[in-house]
Every structure is written in structure tokens, then in C-alpha cells.
Structure 1
Amino acid sequence: MPVKMALYKSAPQGSVPVKIYTDKVEPAALQQLKNIAQLPIIHSHVAAMPDVHLGKGATVGSVIPTVSAIIPSAVGVDIGCGMNAVRTSLHAHELPDNLKALREAIEVKVPIGQGRHKMISARESACKLLAPGVDRLFGKHPALLKKLRQPQKTWVSQMGTLGGRQPLYRDLPG
């Protein structure tokens, strides 16, 4: 099936164009594309691929090039889970060619999933201090309770981790 390229030309003032590489875009996804195109950090244009569809904050299946900005979780909060941008005193030429040892050292310090905690009692005692706030959060947003099988147990078991799955990059070289 050939893919036609369309160009969203009626961009509001201050927007970049949206290049769409498909004939079909759901209305809600098109609105997200228009909204993203209005951000002041967008570089040149936003591109929508043939699989474009509605995301949590931006469309899934889109390319959002930025200037002086990184949006790690544009399409959903899990995409940016555990990401942190930190300015250091290091310069690129000071880093080794292979960052595998550095990555592994970070992975040892940041647990991934409930099975990665070695000191469960320490985590549970720390969570006791946070429990009143979490209870208020669940009270204010009862829909959260419906999304979790055991909400009170789940947040405690995931506290301080990057979620419940192993990262996809674990088996990749340096």
C-alpha cells in the first residue's frame, strides 16, 4: 500500500508544519499533532508516521524534533520512567569509548522491579512515612484504585524502582 505525504498547511501563527505520511489520522491525534507543532521548542516540523495514533501527551508514531530540549515521556509516562537529565562536570572526551561499566554500576544502584530490592524491610519502613500522603492521593483520585489489583501493596513494592520489568537494553553491548 503506497503511503502518500500530506502537509498540514493551515498551521496557526507560531506553529511549525506537520508532515503527515499517511492518508488516515484520527481527529484526536491530528489535534495532538497541531498542539505539539505550537510548542516553542519544536525544530522545523513535526512528522506523523503511517502508524500515528493518539498518545497520552503526544501522538505515538510521530517524530518531534526539538531545539535545546528533550521530552523523554512525550507519548506516555512509562516512556520516560527513570530518566533523569543531570549536568555534570564531565566532558564527552573524558568518557570511555564503552559505557557498559558505567551503565552496569548505575543499574546496580537503581533497582528494577520488586524482586530487585534486597532490603524490603527498609523500603517498607520508609513507605510508612509516605503512607498518609499516598492515602490522600488515592482518596483524591479514586480511579487509580481501579487500575491496580492491590493498590496499597503495589505502590510499596514498586517504591524506589523503575517498575516491574527488566529493561530491554540489558543484553545490548556497551
Structure 2
Amino acid sequence: MEIIEGGALPIYCWAPGLEEGALRQAANCANLPVALHHIAVMADGHQGYGVPVGAVLALDGAISPYAVGNDIGCGMALVPTHLTRGDLLAPVHARSGKPGAVARDEVMGWVQTSIPAGAEERRIGSGADRDHARRVLGDAFEALDEAAAVSGLRLSTSQSTKADAGRPLDAAGFVARGVAQAGTLGSGNHFIELLAGPEDDVWVMLHSGSRGIGALICNNFHRMALAFCGDTDRALIDPGLAWLPTEDGNWGRVGGCYQRALRAALDYAEWNRRLMLEEVGRILERRFPDGIRWDGLVDIHHNDARLEEHFGRRVWVHRKGAVKAARGTQTITPGSMGTGSYLGRGLGNPA
């Protein structure tokens, strides 16, 4: 680990040869007046928007939408199955009509046709699922709506930082979008894969988040954060570092509304991953007697903010592409395509 000095706070960097853009963003974070003690950049840190992806930032009395990120609650889910590597490598050419095909090919083909990726949407199967979606999404929109009333800014579907950009966002459109996107993977670096463990045991891992819902929450509260910083003459080195107070006054109420919307989006993201894993489980059971072992499920957000105590202060710890590794807690480190992934436990070492 390298300690980089020169700003108001030091940067603790575990990324050798950190790219220039990410280093500049970390330095901007280190000079943010509400930041506390140090900025941490993980081994895979790289340039994001405002804050590097793979960074940890503690803010005292403040919360920043883009320090959490656009895909609120993006994270990993990992679960064991009842299968072995040999099960997945069993020939199935008689079924598939493809010479040399094995069960793995058949299963992943079903996954690709059953779970939408990219901008595709789906209809959630059960009434209970839809009711849950509407309840969580309703909580998120209620927080958005209150924040808009307090701040005087209208809600928008736009990603623009301009307050009057884009079409108005209403409750019906927000909830409908979230219901349609539940149980879908998304795009970018999101994935579903089958992995073989050290004892030839088979696991399912996926990477996804809150889909378009997190982006709508982030972008609207980011515009409010920009308005707060402008109204109170708080100069920003980078607009991506705009923040909201978490206490006192009307802007503190807006910061509180973001916390409520954040919690709802985290709930939605975890539930979205669960829906996809349940679908994978049903697919496995088409081909095998047993599918997923739910007692071994691990689900971890890596885009979130939590109120924690550090260095004698209660602060909002923002983790963007990073996870908390408290002593004994499980962690997931996904490898790049074709390389190993790791299920670990935190040591609780001070950062």
C-alpha cells in the first residue's frame, strides 16, 4: 500500500500505477472539505465519475450521490449448487443436436434466453413479486417526491445536470420501470456465470444492481446536491463530488430523503439478484434433480453508503466498487473472464 500525500488528506492506494484520471479524482476527493481522515483506493481502482470506481470515502455530516454511484446497490451474489463439475460436462448432444455439446452449454443457453440482458425488460412471475416491487419502488419515489418539494427542483428522467432537462418523472412511470426491469441483468460488466470450486463443486455467481431505478435516484439527487452546493457557495473542484448535508435545515431534509431512497434502491438491487438466482435454480432443475443450495447464499453490495463510526466520528462511508471487510464477514472478489474468483472473509484490519 502506498500513501500519497499532497492534498488536505492522504490517499491510501493499493493500486500500483493508478491511472492518471483515477489519481486526479482521488486527489479531488482528498481536498473535499467534508471528507474525513483519508481516501482509500482499492487494487482495481479506475476512473469513474467524480469518484474513482474502487474507492472508499468517508464524509462527515454529508452524503454524495455520485460517491455511491449511478447503479446504487450494484453487487455480487454467489450461491452453491448440488452439482459437480462432472454433471455439467456430461454430454447432451442427443438433446441439443450439437455434436460435442455438454450440459453446461444447454444450461447457459437457457439462462441467456430466460434472463434478459442489456435494455431488455421482463414481466415478474408472481403477484407477490409485483407487490414487493411496488412497495419498495413506492418508498423510493416518496423520498424523491418529498426532496423535490423541499428543494424546489422538479424530478426528471434526464441524466443531465441541468435542473430543467428531460421529461418529468412521475410515480407511475418510476414504478412501472422498476417492475419491468426486476429480474433482469442489465449491461456493461454485469454477468451470470457457473464456476467450479476447489472440490469440483459448482457455484452460480452474478453481478448486477438496481438497473435504471438507481440511475433515476442518483441523477435527481445529484442535481439537488449541485443546487445545494451552488446556493451555499461551496466551491467544487469536480461537479461529480456534489454533496448534501445529512442534518439540519431544508437541505438536511433533502439529504435525509436521499438516505431513504438509497435504502429502497439497495433493497431493490438485492431482490433483483435473488429473482435471477431463483430463475437459474429453476433452469438447473430442468436438467438435474436438485439445483441451488440456498443456505450458502452470499450477497454483497459494492455501491453503497453506510453510517459508521470511525476515528471518533459517526460518518457516512461511501463505497463505490468496494466492500466492507469487517472481521468475519464474507466477501466476494470476482475475477476477470477466464480467471478465478474468490470467496473470502474479512480480517477487520484498519484501512
Normalised TM-score (structure 2): 0.26
**Higher strand proportion:** 2
Normalised TM-score (structure 1): 0.48
